[in-house]
Amino acid sequence: MYDLKRRVYEVLEVSSVGDKSSRAYDVLLTTAIVVGMVPMTMKGENIYTRWIEIVVSGLFLIDYIARICTADYKMGYRNYRAYIAYILTPLAIFDLLSILPVLCLIPGVSSKVGLLRLFRFFRVFKLIRYSKTMVIITNVIRKVRNQLLAVLILIMVYIFVSAMLIFQLEPNLFESFFDALYWATISITTIGYGDISPVTDAGRFIAMISALVGMAVIALPTGIITAAYMNEITRKKSKYEL
């Protein structure tokens, strides 16, 4: 039983050189992920999308259960906490959410929780497992999450402040504070609001500052991620790393 469980774990993980069974499983799941996104390209449901949903969700459910059963190998320690810890990992949560859209096929459920169809989007994140580059990027973001969070908080504070200022300086341009908040958000990203722009000198000054801050918004996180990425690709990754 111990050897079988270990073998299941090896098949579930990204295949190593020469492991044909694991490689075939990777191809199967990758294909299922791609096919599982097809219903999102169509309007409404038909017999084909229903069968796609049933087959794909069935594969995802088997994969989800198998990964939980072998979580002790994945997490690197052998006790019940490994199973709980794995269930709470982002990828495990995405796995669960990607299965839920099948509930829409149950009569009466679709009209009540139709938004479950949108959970098909989470299937994209399952591809992270099967791309070494995406694994590296995921590790990088996880390591610099505190720095990125600090930058995000700084940006949000600036957006709220600039939105409040522009809302007071240009009261006739915005019907609600949310409109001003939207203007501040897209201004800081240097996209521009479109058909609404400040008419007062003070308002235009705020827009100019937002455009300049927007350059830093792009440059600062990019620099943080790039530096961490260069360190990651030169480091030998652990066997149990995500």
Q: Flag residues of the chain having pLDDT under 70.
A: 1-2, 15-17, 107-115, 131-133, 190-196, 235-242
Residue 52 lies in a domain: yes
Residue 121: C-alpha distances to residues 24, 38, 73, 78 (Å): 24, 11, 28, 33
Domain stop point among 97, 130, 163: 130
Task: Specify if 198 maps to a domain.
Answer: yes
Q: Is 12 domain-assigned?
A: yes
- What pLDDT is attached to residue 1? 47
Give yes or no: residues 209 and 110 share one domain.
no
d(CA 169, CA 84): 52
Residues 13 and 112 in one domain: yes
Counted domains in the chain: 2
Are both 115 and 149 inside the same structural domain?
Answer: no
> Which of 52, 13, 20 is closest to 33 using CA atoms?
52
**Whether residue 176 sits in one domain with residue 225:** yes
Select from 130, 159, 187 the last residue of a domain. 130
The answer to the question of residue 159 being in a domain is yes
Same domain, 92 and 210: no
Nearest to 171 by CA among 208, 209, 202: 202
- Classify residue 21: in a domain, yes or no: yes
Block residue for tokens 């939980």:
68
Are 67 and 149 contained in the same domain? no
Q: What is the reported pLDDT for 183?
A: 82
The predicted pLDDT at position 240 comes to 44
Whether 6 and 19 have beta carbons less than 8 Å apart is answered as no
> Using one digit for the tens of pLDDT, what is the confidence trace for 22-37?
888 888 888 888 888 8
C-alpha 9/C-alpha 11 separation (Å) is: 5
Residue 140 is predicted with a pLDDT of 82
Same domain, yes or no, for 107 and 150? no
pTM value is 0.62
Q: Write out pLDDT tens, residues 5-24.
A: 888 888 887 766 677 888 88
Within this chain, do residues 169 and 225 fall inside the same structural domain, yes or no? yes
Q: Which amino acid is at 56?
A: V
User: Do residues 161 and 60 touch, judged by C-beta distance below 8 A?
Assistant: no
Give me the domain span that covers residue 80: 2-130
Same domain, 165 and 98: no
Q: What angle do CA 40, 66, 1 make, to 5 degrees?
A: 165
Name the helix (H) or strand (E) containing 15. none
Please check whether residues 28 and 87 belong to one and the same domain. Answer: yes
What confidence score (pLDDT) does residue 83 get?
Answer: 85
Residues 13 and 101 in one domain: yes
- Distance between CA atoms of residues 14 and 19, nearest Å: 10
Boundary of a domain, candidates 95, 130, 165: 130
Residues 6 and 126 in one domain: yes
DSSP structure string for 171-184? TTT-SSHHHHHHHH
Q: Which residue has the tokens 């169809």?
A: 117
